Chains A and B, each alone.
Chain A
């Protein structure tokens, strides 16, 4: 299998690179060298594999979603169950890999940003297990809507630092995490959670997430005797999608579909690839939601994990090359997808993953009989209960039930 390698300057075609203050350049060089070393080190690989199995619970299964398929149309829908990974999302794959890498680098302090809180929880868990100090930056808007994950991080021993600047979401959490890293660059490793940022992060995160695609491809061949016709994943920064897509890039017949967040559908969503233009944010050149003067725009999505104006550079490359296609679904469609999966399969998806479910269900209705769709169910939805209850008006009906009793 050929994977796409960034060139030595960290570019996937026109996208990527290292647009960072000089203070960070030596740390990025050090990280690149250390990663090259561990990538080829069988001891590191064995340790990662052992922890993926014994700690994360890999391989995660694929589930044939019979009821969802029947409800949606003629194509058969399979789910890659990253929601069943330890801590409830795919984020643990990267957090574990980079945690081990940080130990190799001799860095005892970990900095992370989080949007939905899934990367923060994964990082806090890994730090607790590996005995590393953990500081997580999180926008105050995200703290509000993902409070459960804030409590989880604190229980796991992490310090959660609220970020009250800008849109108070993931973008601003990354700004603040980078400021911390600039200040503590020699003692700290920045454990970036998505396939974004300066080289070598997009590649490192992709590689640690590629376990999703490798497993899923083999599982589909074993279960179905052939590859899926379409692979669907949600895209915020794009780590679960790139982890899934990476195994199928050479399978020309497999359509790769990334689903971005359209928000309310009024043009103020978070669909960087669909509505953005190339620009530079957080250390990389990639598609970016920006105004005519190059100021980064504030985004809006019901899903904190997709609420980000940029996207990983490899996705920009895949978009331009035509190998992957990118679409967007609205908050309302994602909520419908959320509900659909709950009701048909007894699985509560993360709101992020619900975007992929919603689009897959729509596609399934338009495909031929016997075709298959593989959806990356990147996380579970426990964290989203408050948001979903408020959005669907379930609080009132629950109260009505209580009142009757």
Chain B
């Protein structure tokens, strides 16, 4: 299936058919080294990730907690640009990875690249969707249109503070899935899921009319299981980036793959099987 044109939607349809909770994983592109990402993505996919988000680093990532801030800063220090992110995507696709790939980042680097040109180049490189953290529906008109023209899903974010009207607006403004920010807060590993998460996600399901993925603060198998009771997918970012920060390069593939197998429940399947 060509990039963008429904590959994400097809993934969610398959998850539904299989009765399984999807796992979306996030890593910062070009971190820990410029060349590291294709192997890391291979580990994520081999471990069972259904969709992979690649973070486009930005100098002022104001929705990120310390772990992703640090990774973003380190990637920039090594000269990672939006253009290099697209080169990384091409290499991943060249390695025959067919998993949906989503770019996640902030608006200004896109604006500097040129929104229309960026979405076209991203689609050509093999990207399926785009998430822009600081682009609420009110400001997203041009980017949404550019995504549609390029065949990319424009994936909206919603938060517990979003009113029902805003959930509706988000659903209408995007496609693919809706990214539910689980907490009032920034990205980062947390012990427990917020008490009001289920009610929030059920509200999103009622009003947004798109598959849901819950992110921010998710790091464990039990989090994924809990979220899976009301959401189509869960997103894990900081926990993986932390592994990347700690693991020696030679062990990176194995550790990332083992972690993803564990949170998706494949590891226990192996044991039983």
Given contacts A165-B69, A293-B81, is CB(A23)–CB(B161) below 8 Å? yes
Q: Are B158 and A22 within 8 A (Cβ)?
A: yes
Interface check B193, CB cutoff 8 A: no
Interface check B67, CB cutoff 8 A: no
- Which candidate, A126-134, A171-179, A328-336, is the interface stretch facing chain B? A171-179
A182 to B181, CA, bound (A): 11
Interface check A292, CB cutoff 8 A: yes
Measured between beta carbons, the chain A residues less than 8 angstroms from B134 are 19-21, 280, 283
Given contacts A26-B163, A182-B184, A280-B134, is CB(A296)–CB(B139) below 8 Å? no
Q: Are A22 and B162 within 8 A (Cβ)?
A: yes
Interface check A184, CB cutoff 8 A: yes
Q: Are B162 and A186 within 8 A (Cβ)?
A: no
Q: Are A280 and B111 within 8 A (Cβ)?
A: yes
Interface check A3, CB cutoff 8 A: no
Q: Are A19 and B135 within 8 A (Cβ)?
A: yes
CB pairs A–B below 8 angstroms (12 shown)? A19-B107, A20-B134, A25-B136, A27-B161, A175-B60, A179-B65, A182-B62, A182-B185, A185-B161, A280-B108, A290-B108, A293-B112
The B153-197 residues at the A interface (CB cut-off 8 A) are 156-163, 166, 170, 181, 183-186
Given contacts A22-B159, A22-B162, is CB(A295)–CB(B139) below 8 Å? no
| Residues of A that sit less than 8 Å from B by CB | 9, 17-27, 165-166, 171-172, 175, 178-179, 182-186, 279-283, 288, 290, 292-296
Interface check B59, CB cutoff 8 A: yes
A294 to B135, CA, bound (A): 15
Measured between beta carbons, the chain B residues less than 8 angstroms from A186 are 161, 184
Q: Are B111 and A279 within 8 A (Cβ)?
A: yes
| A295 interface neighbour in B62, B107, B109, Cβ under 8 Å | B109
Q: Can you name the residue of chain A whose Cβ is closest to the Cβ of B157?
A: A22
Measured between beta carbons, the chain B residues less than 8 angstroms from A22 are 136, 156-159, 161-162, 166, 170, 181
Known A22-B166, A182-B185; further 16 A-B contacts with Cβ < 8 A: A17-B139, A19-B134, A22-B162, A22-B170, A23-B63, A23-B161, A182-B63, A183-B184, A183-B186, A279-B111, A280-B107, A281-B60, A290-B112, A293-B81, A293-B109, A294-B111
Given contacts A175-B60, A280-B107, is CB(A23)–CB(B184) below 8 Å? yes
Measured between beta carbons, the chain A residues less than 8 angstroms from B83 are 293
Measured between beta carbons, the chain A residues less than 8 angstroms from B59 are 166, 295-296
A309 to chain B, nearest CB (A): 9
B57 to chain A, nearest CB (A): 8
Measured between beta carbons, the chain B residues less than 8 angstroms from A283 are 134
Given contacts A23-B184, A171-B60, A175-B62, is CB(A18)–CB(B139) below 8 Å? yes
Per CB-CB distance, the 5 closest pairs between chain A and chain B, nearest first, are A294-B112, A294-B109, A23-B159, A183-B185, A294-B108
Measured between beta carbons, the chain A residues less than 8 angstroms from B138 are 9, 17-18, 25
A183 to B166, CA, bound (A): 19
A318 to chain B, nearest CB (A): 22
B180 to chain A, nearest CB (A): 10
Given contacts A26-B163, A280-B111, A294-B112, is CB(A21)–CB(B157) below 8 Å? yes
Q: Are A294 and B186 within 8 A (Cβ)?
A: no
A387 to B122, CA, bound (A): 48
| Residues of B that sit less than 8 Å from A by CB | 58-60, 62-63, 65, 69, 73, 76, 81-83, 107-113, 133-136, 138-139, 156-163, 166, 170, 181, 183-186
Measured between beta carbons, the chain A residues less than 8 angstroms from B69 are 165
A173 to B119, CA, bound (A): 32
Q: Are B136 and A184 within 8 A (Cβ)?
A: no
Measured between beta carbons, the chain A residues less than 8 angstroms from B162 are 22, 25-26
Measured between beta carbons, the chain B residues less than 8 angstroms from A288 are 108
A178 to B157, CA, bound (A): 17
B84 to chain A, nearest CB (A): 9
A172 to B136, CA, bound (A): 22
Q: Are B63 and A21 within 8 A (Cβ)?
A: yes
Given contacts A20-B134, A26-B166, is CB(A293)–CB(B60) below 8 Å? no
Q: Can you name the residue of chain B whose Cβ is closest to the Cβ of A8?
A: B138
A26 to B134, CA, bound (A): 14
A251 to chain B, nearest CB (A): 34
A186 to B133, CA, bound (A): 20
Measured between beta carbons, the chain A residues less than 8 angstroms from B133 are 21
B119 to chain A, nearest CB (A): 15
Measured between beta carbons, the chain B residues less than 8 angstroms from A26 are 161-163, 166
A296 to B161, CA, bound (A): 29
A171 to B58, CA, bound (A): 14
B90 to chain A, nearest CB (A): 18
A134 to chain B, nearest CB (A): 20
Considering residues B58, B59, B107, which has the most beta carbons from chain A within 10 angstroms of its beta carbon? B59
Considering residues A172, A179, A282, which has the most beta carbons from chain B within 10 angstroms of its beta carbon? A179
Measured between beta carbons, the chain A residues less than 8 angstroms from B135 are 19
Measured between beta carbons, the chain B residues less than 8 angstroms from A25 are 136, 138, 159, 161-162, 166
A376 to B139, CA, bound (A): 35
B151 to chain A, nearest CB (A): 24
Measured between beta carbons, the chain A residues less than 8 angstroms from B170 are 22
A24 to B186, CA, bound (A): 12
Measured between beta carbons, the chain A residues less than 8 angstroms from B186 are 179, 182-183
B204 to chain A, nearest CB (A): 11
Measured between beta carbons, the chain A residues less than 8 angstroms from B159 are 21-23, 25
A198 to B163, CA, bound (A): 19
Considering residues B65, B133, B185, which has the most beta carbons from chain A within 10 angstroms of its beta carbon? B185
B16 to chain A, nearest CB (A): 25
Q: Can you name the residue of chain A whose Cβ is closest to the Cβ of B140?
A: A19
A280 to B135, CA, bound (A): 10
B179 to chain A, nearest CB (A): 9
